[in-house]
Amino acid sequence: MRPALNAAERGHVECTARVNAVLDQLQSGAGRVSVAAIAAAAGVSRTFLYEAAQHELLARLRDIAARRGPSQRIPAPAAQQITTASHEQVVRALSARNQRLDKENKWPRDELAVALGQLRELRRRTAGTPAPEVAPPTP
């Protein structure tokens, strides 16, 4: 079982080395700083970067991104950028959906409030009344 463990350890060390190499390049030059970009460039999964064992790599990536600031970040390609009109349309659609869901949820909330009020009133009325005795079943 030890050779498999060694292979796993070697794989982890190699992945970490590739990520560090990509981060070194980003630190000294330009390039997109994101988990997805780093993972793709290093040939690792994004999940690998988010694992607890890689917290130092993720912290280093975030540090590089923070030092660059928003002006040095590479913008998304034009095809991926949202226009103002498109953004407004999305906001209107989401707002309309939110209003519709609020209306749909109003009836169950009101019914629940009525039922709880009736239950409270019933409990108040029967609070002084002893519980009815249940007759044992007859054989």
pLDDT in tens, 33-68: 788 888 888 899 888 888 888 888 888 888 888 887
* pLDDT at 83 (0 to 100): 82
Reference 37, options 24, 23, 51; nearest CA is 23
pLDDT tens-digit map of 60-111: 888 888 887 665 556 667 777 788 888 899 999 999 999 999 999 999 999 9
Confidence of residue 2 (pLDDT cuts 50, 70, 90): low
pTM beyond 0.85: the answer is no
